[in-house]
A = this chain, B = another copy of it.
Amino acid sequence: MIALYWAEDGRFPPGDRGLAYGDGLFETIRVDGGSAHLKAYHLDRMTRDAARLHIPVNRSELEHIFHQAVERYSVHYSVDSWILKLTLTRGSGGRGYRPSPNMKPNLLVSHAAMPPLAPASGVAVDFSRVPLTVNPLLAGIKSLNRIEQVMAASELQDGLFEVLMANPAGHIVEGTRTNLFIETDDGWRTPSPDSVAVRGVMRRYVIERLRANAEEVHEAPILLDDMLASSCRGVYLTNSVLGVVSVRTLAGQDLPVTGRLATICGSTPKTE
């Protein structure tokens, strides 16, 4: 059983391990007029990542809370889009880092306004000075350990939509809040799931849509040269709230913008 907290009640247990160690997970979900984008994908990921961290939750309990939350907050927004956030932690207690055997997870539910969407004409992107380190055991987990992304996002200046982070091997892996796709002469490419810090639900949706459209998708490293080569037909960032975003300039250099990925996937998918 999960202990449920609503952010608007203004309290959360101070002994929670999410606060103490970032020992938990989160999902941010776009909701339009009472229906949630990629709902099943968000629930899948939180259930899978909780199991990887040995946090005992089941999908149906999460889904029940999800429905409660959408119903509760929808009255504030009527037809507008908004963001539902679920923060799941291992709970309170344990001896230092070591969890106790039978901990009860805490789930904090909150809502927020939609951030501004990116223009279809594309966005300006640069490289982060913060290196990305991904623990192979934790790759892809949308955990509460996000200081690297915070430090990288601190570099965002007005006019810049995102910064891209590279790993120690020099592969360009992802943005602070987005996954990366490029279109080349050989099809589509995105970094492999074992190399990413966060395995976005929109990343999964895009790969599925591409394959459903008989497009080739390779999960393989992306180097700076791959993005700047003449064989590169487009660079895209994906995020479940913001959808598919075309990159217009990378570190001041112009890139081709065809919008083809948004055409294939739809810029804002709705899958209940």
Residues in chain A within 8 A of chain B (CB atoms) = 5, 7, 9-23, 26, 53-54, 87, 89-90, 95-99, 108, 110, 115, 130-131, 133-138, 143-154, 156, 176-177
Q: How far is the CB of A201 from chain B (nearest CB, A)?
A: 16
Known A-B contacts A19-B87, A148-B138; the reply to A176 vs B97 at CB < 8 A is yes
Q: How far is the CB of A13 from chain B (nearest CB, A)?
A: 7
Known A-B contacts A138-B148, A143-B147; the reply to A14 vs B20 at CB < 8 A is no
Residue contact A10 to B14, C-beta cutoff 8 Å? yes
Give the distance in Å from the alpha carbon of A130 to the alpha carbon of B138 in the complex.
9
Q: How far is the CB of A12 from chain B (nearest CB, A)?
A: 4
Known A-B contacts A20-B87, A21-B150, A156-B98; the reply to A137 vs B131 at CB < 8 A is yes
**Inter-chain contacts of A90 with B (CB < 8 A):** 150
Give the distance in Å from the alpha carbon of A99 to the alpha carbon of B13 in the complex.
23
**Inter-chain contacts of A54 with B (CB < 8 A):** 154
